[in-house]
Amino acid sequence: MPVIGTNIAALNATYYLGVANAGLTKSIERLSSGSNLADPSDDAAGVAVSGKLGASSTRLAAATAGAQNLISFAQTADSFLQTVQDEISRMSELATRATNGAFSASDRANYNTEFTVLQSNITNQITNAKFNGTRVFDTSQTISSTVSDDGSNIYTLTLASALNNVSAITATSTNVLTASAATSALTALTSALSNIASSRATVNADVSALNFYVTDLSAQKINTDAANSRIKDLDFAAESTTLAKYNILNQAGTAMLAQANASTQSVLALLR
């Protein structure tokens, strides 16, 4: 029945044109932002999960940096330990030479001059060894950092006592002025070298362990970022197809609305 009061065809065309226009607008919004979550109301749960994953990724990056800083700290400590080890080795060489009964007191005094300087150097190095302003060998401090994204796993370096035995040696009146004194010094220095070797083994074991943590944290971050990407990052190929669909529907809807409005003109023929 031809009517002019209610144009059902035009109403239907208007409705579907609105749906197509809304889809086109949303598709353009997603493509321009590159995100599935450009409008958070499209996926409220996804927004919540993506937020948690993003925060976790940020914490994992911070934990990785913390572990790497501990590695740098430990490697700095090992460098100092190696220097001290070399100095003690030289001191033990001087002590060995000074045990030679063929040397005179003046010869031993010459050996003792270098021996004393090395002793003083070690003391200064122990006291002044620093990393980023923090003392490396401080018995009153703990060097640690989290190696997990939730802070449940804390790694602590054990450097406080690394040079205790060396400190004890350098604090004494060890010298090589006599053959017997040189023999006593050599015994103490041999023990010190053993302790330094053990300390370096401990420090480098820390470095090895921390390197594994860095690898693990990096892998966790990659997988966390991948999971987050699947939620928030846009599939441009699929969305471009959606854009084309709504673009065609929008054009078709506009054309059909014009056709529906024009169809009422046929009623005029009844009035002629």
Q: Are 115 and 244 part of one and the same domain?
A: no
Alpha helices in the chain (DSSP H): 8-33, 44-98, 105-128, 164-171, 179-232, 236-263
Integer Cα distance of 155 and 160 in angstroms: 15
Amino acid letter, 205:
A
Asked whether residue 3 carries a pLDDT value surpassing 60, the answer given is no
Q: Which of 15, 20, 91 is nearest to 243 (CA)?
A: 20
Domain-located, residue 36: no
Determine the 3-state secondary structure of 235 from DSSP. Answer: coil
| Sign of the dihedral through C-alpha 179, 184, 190, 192 | negative
Mean pLDDT for all residues in the chain: 84
In 10 A of CB 201, how many CB atoms? 11
| Ranges 18-27, 61-70, 208-217, 263-272: which has the least confidence | 263-272
Query: Which residues span the domain enclosing 257?
Result: 235-263
**Contact yes or no for 108/177 (Cβ under 8 A):** yes
Q: Are 165 and 240 part of one and the same domain?
A: no
Q: Are 94 and 168 part of one and the same domain?
A: yes
In 10 A of CB 248, how many CB atoms? 12
**Contact yes or no for 94/111 (Cβ under 8 A):** yes
What's residue 129's pLDDT?
Answer: 86
Q: Are 77 and 127 part of one and the same domain?
A: yes
Q: What percent of the chain has pLDDT over 90?
A: 35
Domain-located, residue 1: no
Amino acid letter, 207:
V
The Cα-based distances of 10 to 16, 259, 268 in angstroms read 10, 8, 18
Q: Are 201 and 241 part of one and the same domain?
A: no
Report pLDDT digits (tens) over 87-141: 999 999 999 999 988 888 899 999 999 999 998 888 888 888 888 888 888 767 7
Domain-located, residue 13: no
Integer Cα distance of 97 and 85 in angstroms: 18
Asked whether residue 200 carries a pLDDT value surpassing 60, the answer given is yes
Integer Cα distance of 167 and 173 in angstroms: 12
The Cα-based distances of 32 to 36, 44, 62 in angstroms read 11, 20, 31
What's residue 232's pLDDT?
Answer: 85
Q: Are 166 and 259 part of one and the same domain?
A: no
What pTM was estimated for this model as a whole?
Answer: 0.77
